[in-house]
Structure 1
Amino acid sequence: MGIELRPAQALRLLHQTALLQARDDEHDLTVRQTAILLTIYLEAPPHTVRGLAARLNVTKPVITRALDTMGGLELLERRRDPADKRNVLVRRTVKGSLHVSRMADRLVEQAGALQP
């Protein structure tokens, strides 16, 4: 069972949460970076550069650039797969978990404030 939103409400929710994120002292993430981050935090691991590229239908260099940025922000980390040194595993971090949790809190708060 999902929540029902009219298109205008859905856009308002997106707008309000984007405004909150833009006003926050933390770095802004692009939509693509946000999609990658949420894929890592909401879908079961393991996550690899190759797998993320396939999941988002983009090239591996696109994923690598996004991971470079988010790794610099300590939202995730990359490690070589000990079982297959060709693969790079992308893993969650505490800071990343807190960031995703704050994103969820903002969404819930803004969804509760929507006009019926």
Structure 2
Amino acid sequence: MAQFPLTTWMQTLVDYVRSGEPDLTNRQMALLLLVHLTNGPHTVRGLARGLGVSKPVVTRALNRLGALGYLRRQRDESDRRNIFVLLTTEGAKFLEQFGRLIAVDRGQRIAA
């Protein structure tokens, strides 16, 4: 029974690879999920702290996720030195589709 979660995760990843969606690294996926699942506002510094990595690591992942249209940077209008990281509609769609893969592989049904 201990292998069930790993088998489910493997099947989800296989389904993800077959989906044709862009391949994301674990860091990129963790960053995307952190922005989506935790309360903002999100900054590079705060995200680096949350992941336990350096700011350049977050910046590289953010550059890739930004190029894919999943996350975007927005300057803080009240303090122009701050840059916030926001989930885009495209990023939310990607995570919804990924969540559906997980649910299907766990034998759950999700309404469209």
So what's the TM-score if we normalise by structure 1?
Answer: 0.88
Measure, in 1, the Cα distance between the counterparts of 2:64 and 2:107.
32
Q: Deviations over 1:12-62 (max 9, x none)?
A: 111011111111212110111101000111111111100000000100000
Measure, in 1, the Cα distance between the counterparts of 2:73 and 2:67.
11
Q: Deviations over 1:55-107 (max 9, x none)?
A: 00100000000000000000010012122222210011110010000111110
Mapped pair 1:59 → 2:54: yes
Matched residues, number: 108
Alignment counterpart, residue 49 of structure 1, candidates 44, 52, 58: 44
Gaps of 5+ in 1: 1-5
What amino acid is aligned across from residue 99 of structure 1 in structure 2? F
Mapped pair 1:90 → 2:82: no
Measure, in 1, the Cα distance between the counterparts of 2:46 and 2:78.
16
Q: Considering only aligned residues, what root-mean-square deviation do their CA atoms show, in Å?
A: 1.2
Q: Percent identity?
A: 41
Measure, in 2, the Cα distance between the counterparts of 1:76 and 1:86.
19
What amino acid is aligned across from residue 72 of structure 1 in structure 2? A
Give the secondary-structure state (helix, strand or coil) at the position aligned to 2:20.
coil
Mapped pair 1:26 → 2:26: no
